[in-house]
Amino acid sequence: MLLLPVFLALLSLASGCLSVSFGPVSYDGSTLQLQVTNTGAPVDAALQVSVYRFQDFRQVEVTRQILPVKLGQGLTTLSVPLALDEGSYRLYLYIIIDNARRASVIRDITVEAHGATPRIGAG
């Protein structure tokens, strides 16, 4: 019975801890931009972006990048240099803090030509 109050006290202290989540993703033909929300204090982290293309009914890795990032409190926009041809892709996005994955999301995108600038289409 003594453990329950201790657990509840620790849980209430943890409510101000780091919580990271991904928001919208955009692509302008040379840069992938994504928004990350951090509800905790500013922190140094790593962003891993793995890009796969759909080819012959399977996923083929196009690139994998790991970049150091600084997440401020609130909304942070991150930019990743990236060259993608027209086509359908699957993005695996991860935020890593202290060697632990704190947030992840999978996004399917389609890069379409739009004049001279590729853009993300409905994918």
Scored b (16 or more CB within 10 A) or e, 96-111 reads bbeeeebbeeeeebeb
Task: Using alpha carbons, select from 50, 34, 36, 26 the residue that is nearest to residue 111.
Answer: 26
Residue-range domain boundaries for the chain: 18-121
- What's the pLDDT at 117? 53
Angle (CA) 37-76-86 rounded to 5° is 100
- For the chain, the residue count is 123
The CATH architecture one would assign to domain 18-121 is: Sandwich (2.60)
Q: Walk along the chain (123 residues) in steps of 10 and give the mean pLDDT of each run.
A: 51 57 93 96 97 92 97 97 93 97 95 65 49
